[in-house]
Amino acid sequence: MKEITSKQYNNWSEEHDRDTMKYDQLSRKSFYSFFKFETNEKKLLDIASGTGHDLQHYRDGMKCDVWGVDASEKEVEIANDRLGEDKVKVGYAEALPYEDNSFDIVVSKYAPQGFEDIEPFYKEVNRVLKTGGYFLILTTHPMRHFLEKTEKPRDYFKKEIVTSWIYNHMLPLQEYSHTMNDYFSDYFFKHFQIEEYLEECNDGPVIEHVDGENYPAYFIYRARKK
């Protein structure tokens, strides 16, 4: 099943490439506002970098030395075309094709919610990030996945594959549900120090919300490796 959830973007990479710039701009702006540190010439890894819009911004706007990884071959192809250089590799968040202690900044945006488990991803971030390095994520809020559960009564704690309808209910996305404790786990607090946290529903009730309910659609944090 992991293959299906992580490779599904191969089916709609062109729509994803176009619509992320249409629907995800407010959350993108919030995420970028979390970069409250010097980025010039810093080596940055974007995990699950999609079609590379953010990598382009980290390179051209923030002046980082950018690298990426994504499970979808098609997303990687579009990202490398966009960058004009082969800086994005096909691979998994749970087995990063990069060396130990090789990055100053590791980010993952609108992606961890789709990983089957969070801890293998955290272990890989901890491995490739330098001590004191920055770790930033934006991920779909577990509350949304709870509302998308179809088995009744809903069980917040049970991992299920839920279907998230994104981009104005156009694309059905299969994702693993998570709890807040998956993200703020013993492993996380042992290896990272959180500096800033925000929960938001910036991309708008019409576009991202389930049944018009008002709730945090995603959260963002910035942490540092201890």
Q: Which positions touch ligand SAM (CB under 6 A)? A: 6, 9, 20, 48-50, 54, 70-72, 75, 92-94, 109-111, 114-115
Residue 154 or residue 198: which is nearer to ligand SAM going by CB?
Answer: 198
User: Which two tokens mark 79?
Assistant: 């990202």
Task: State which residue has the least CB distance to ligand SAM.
Answer: 50
Kindly state the smallest distance separating residue 25's Cβ from ligand SAM, in Å.
11
User: How far separated are the first and last CA of the chain, in Å rounded?
Assistant: 34
CB contact at 8 A, 72 and 49:
no
Query: In angstroms, rounded to a whole number, what is the distance separating the alpha carbons of residues 184 and 49?
Result: 22
Kindly state the smallest distance separating residue 153's Cβ from ligand SAM, in Å.
29
Kindly state the smallest distance separating residue 202's Cβ from ligand SAM, in Å.
14
Q: What is the dihedral of CA 225, 113, 38, 89, to 10 degrees?
A: 90
Kindly state the smallest distance separating residue 166's Cβ from ligand SAM, in Å.
8
Residue 20 or residue 126: which is nearer to ligand SAM going by CB?
Answer: 20
Burial 128-159 (b: 16+ CB within 10 A, else e): bbeeebbbbbbbbbbbbbbbbbeeeeeeeeee
Kindly state the smallest distance separating residue 152's Cβ from ligand SAM, in Å.
27
Residue 54 or residue 104: which is nearer to ligand SAM going by CB?
Answer: 54
Residue 43 or residue 82: which is nearer to ligand SAM going by CB?
Answer: 82
